[in-house]
Amino acid sequence: MRNRSTEHFSGLPYIYALLNCLITMWYGMPAVSSNNVLVMTVNAMGAAFQLVYIILFTACADKAKKVRMLGLLAGDIILFAIIVAGSLQILNCHLRQIVVGVISGFALISMFASPLFIINLVIRTRSVEFMPFYLSLSTFLMSTSFLMYGILNGDIFVFLPNGIGTLLGMTQLLLYCYYKSSGSESSREPLIESYS
């Protein structure tokens, strides 16, 4: 925001997180699953935050990125509308919950797994500079809390993806602790070149 530029950063994580929140919010709606109001409200708030991030990112992006972000945002909205409309065509409520739950579960698992792509860089550079600790910690805590909620609520579509998210979050934290204590400054490589 200070530089009024997105620099070399991608807006894709915000677009994907918005779609994930929308799908999971829909799963929590009474039309899909009963007794999941917490899932609905938390993901509605998450969708609102992601939308704010997308607006801020787009406001600071160059023209090509703005067009791309707006196209991806439209794609999110269209895909979400297709999922909602398609699932409403399933008249059997239990089958509707299964279909939306599977879609939501895959979206959650891929979201939890996406930070693991940075592991190669962490191992190669022996530095955790590019793996934010608080993001890993918050992912672990959030997935653990929803794992417990899913177990207590008896909802496999909540506890299974969040159980996997808990394991992936724990992996990130262990990797962070290992390389934070054994990493050396001399082995670091720049992630983004600055041309200021």
pLDDT score at 134: 84
- Flag the least confident range among 2-11, 55-64, 96-105, 160-169: 2-11
- Flag the least confident range among 59-68, 89-98, 142-151: 59-68
172 inside domain: yes
93 inside domain: yes
28 inside domain: yes
195 inside domain: no
191 inside domain: no
**Exposed, middle or buried by CB within 10 Å (0-12, 13-18, 19+), for 144?**
middle
d(CA 176, CA 81): 39
103-140 pLDDT tens trace? 999 998 888 877 767 777 777 888 777 677 887 888 89
4 inside domain: no
pLDDT score at 110: 85
pLDDT score at 8: 62
pLDDT score at 119: 73
CA distances from 10 to 55, 69, 143, 165 (A): 13, 9, 24, 23
Its domain, for residue 34, covers 11-185
pLDDT score at 187: 43
Number of domains in the chain: 1
pLDDT score at 196: 43
The model's confidence at residue 52, banded by pLDDT at 50, 70 and 90, is very high
d(CA 159, CA 33): 14
In this predicted structure, the answer to whether residue 44 has a pLDDT above a threshold of 80 is yes
pLDDT score at 6: 66
- Report the mean per-residue pLDDT for the chain: 85
CB 23 within 8 A of CB 87: no
The model's confidence at residue 189, banded by pLDDT at 50, 70 and 90, is very low
* Section 67-84 average pLDDT: 95
110 inside domain: yes
24 inside domain: yes
